[in-house]
Amino acid sequence: MFGWSYRDIYRHIPSAFIPDDHDVYHGNIWGEGGKVAPTEEGWGAVAQDQGGYKMPAAWVNAVQRSQTSHLPDPFDPTPVRQDIGVYYTGWTYGGVSFAILEDRKFKSAPGNVLPAEAQVVNGWIQNPEWDIRQHPDPPEARLLGERQMRFLEDWVEDWSGGAYQKVVLSQTNFAAVHTIPADATSGAVLPGLPMPAPGTYVEGDKLAVDMDSNGWPRARRDEVLRILRRGAAFHIAGDQHLATVVRHGIDAFDDAGFTFTGPALNNIWPRRWWPPRELREAPLPEGGPDYSGRFRDGFGNRITVHASANPRATGLEPAIIRDRVTGYGIVAFDKAEGTVTVECWSRHADPTAGDRQYEGWPLVLRREDGDGRSPTGFLPEVGVEGLADPVVEVRTADEALVHARRVTGPTARLPVFADGRYTVRVGDPDTGTWQERTGLEPLGSDEEARAAGWTVRFSG
């Protein structure tokens, strides 16, 4: 139905689709590498909490093939358990290099790795005395799995095909950006709650500790974000039924990249973001609603909320659609300007008639905002002659990638984040033409780095 409804778009525009939990008849799914989810005790949460797939493997494969067979070949096509196929892959189109992920397939079921005292039901902790922020992640807990982590390590270094922008597509966000009433033990109460009037701030909510989000396991989430910022990747996700834009933090607020979680086209399970005001650690520099700014989510992850399309009572009918902030998102990447423009529209808005987007949008970001680390120094600036738009890599002395970018100007600024000696490689991955300089040490300022600059020359 989805493809049929929007066929006029997909008929002419290359498109990527990724299935999620409901596509395989799950409310939530923790795939645990394709295992069988036992259904003898029931079909709902009791089965899902044990991890794996409830439906037969052949049926799961049919769903995946119907939605993903048009994608490029998987990075590693080896099936998981039950011979269930994989589709995680890279795709470069129009200079944008996409990493298409499978958030659910390898993820651990929280009920299988957290202690019984947590009392996990459908990914929610039922024991009010058990605070997940006080407990380290179990070492066996998985998020994307080792195979997809290897893929991301490879992808973030691959700027072939003229790629100038890195973008991750996945099912859901690397944080839990929603709240529930203080006396609730899950989000199950949300669809039945009244919608607040415009201008109202809902008091009495608490942070959601929803392990269906990629905010858990926290340590694995941090590992993913560390890889993505090496390529200044922008992240586009869905699933949350609530449109948000957040910037992630790992060791400090804003030291990683941005995620746009798009709105639902149709929303029977509205979520909301009404964090207790006292939990905000800092507002946005430019100001904004009380729900914007720096927070820690229910797992303790640092997030800076730039926009959230909270449900409102609009007074319009049908309310079940109008009030639940249904709509669509658009992300535009401008190579010449180096910008990422994020739009979020109501499904009822008419952009040609001057209708406005949801509050907080559009946002215009810089491409380099995908890496928020604060430099401790700068390597001597490199100028490039004879090669347009080169790829520039900075590596540590032991060859670990610090960051890689395609540079669209005649010089490249080279920040680093620790003392040491570095190697800089400049070249074209499509021709395999590279030059490098080793043993470079950071200088204290941009001015010093420019004064000590050097030039790489390529001949035709």
320-374 pLDDT tens trace: 888 999 999 999 999 999 999 999 999 999 999 999 999 999 999 999 999 999 9
| Same domain flag for 345 and 396 | no
CATH code for the domain in which residue 174 is found: 3.60.21
Residue found by looking up tokens 């204290």 in the block: 444
| Same domain flag for 271 and 186 | yes
pLDDT at 266: 86
Residue where a domain terminates, one of 348, 370, 392? 370
For the chain, the average pLDDT equals: 96
pLDDT at 9: 87
State whether residue 57 is helix, strand or coil: helix
Res. 170 pLDDT band, cuts 50 70 90: very high
| Same domain flag for 393 and 349 | no
The answer, yes or no, to whether residue 460 has pLDDT greater than 80, is: no
Query: How many independent structural domains does the chain possess?
Result: 2
Dihedral in degrees, nearest 10, Cα atoms 173, 177, 181, 187: -10
For the chain, count helices (H), then strands (E): 9, 22
pLDDT at 333: 98
| Same domain flag for 402 and 287 | no
Residue at 1 is within a domain: no
CATH code for the domain in which residue 432 is found: 2.60.40.10
Terminal Cα-to-Cα distance of the chain (whole angstroms) = 52
Rounded-to-5 percentages of helix, strand, coil across the chain: 20, 25, 55
pLDDT at 2: 78
State whether residue 450 is helix, strand or coil: helix
pTM of the model: 0.97
| Same domain flag for 305 and 420 | no
Taking residues 237-258, what's their average pLDDT?
A: 97
| Same domain flag for 225 and 244 | yes
Residue 207 near residue 273 (C-beta atoms within 8 A): no
| Same domain flag for 332 and 391 | no
pLDDT at 338: 96
Residue found by looking up tokens 């800089």 in the block: 424
| Same domain flag for 335 and 382 | no
Residue at 84 is within a domain: yes
Residue at 197 is within a domain: yes
Residue where a domain terminates, one of 370, 394, 428? 370
Taking residues 225-248, what's their average pLDDT?
A: 97
- Read off the tokens for 447: 């001015």
Residue at 2 is within a domain: no
Q: What is the DSSP letter of 446?
A: H
CA distance 371 to 102: 23
The answer, yes or no, to whether residue 450 has pLDDT greater than 90, is: yes
Residue 141 near residue 217 (C-beta atoms within 8 A): yes
**In this structure, how many other beta carbons lie within 10 angstroms of the beta carbon of residue 280?**
17
Residue 366 near residue 340 (C-beta atoms within 8 A): yes
Residue 289 near residue 280 (C-beta atoms within 8 A): no
Residue at 9 is within a domain: no
Residue at 10 is within a domain: no
| Same domain flag for 119 and 150 | yes
Q: Percent of the chain beyond pLDDT 70?
A: 100
* More confident site: 441 or 321: 441
pLDDT at 80: 99
71-96 pLDDT tens trace: 999 999 999 999 999 999 999 999 99
Lowest mean pLDDT among 4-13, 195-204, 211-220, 347-356: 4-13
| Same domain flag for 313 and 383 | no
In the sheet where 339-346 sits, what is the strand order? 327-334, 339-346, 363-366
| Same domain flag for 364 and 392 | no
Which domain does 400 fall in, by range? 377-457
Residue 100 near residue 109 (C-beta atoms within 8 A): no
Residue where a domain terminates, one of 354, 370, 386? 370
The answer, yes or no, to whether residue 116 has pLDDT greater than 90, is: yes
Taking residues 441-450, what's their average pLDDT?
A: 95
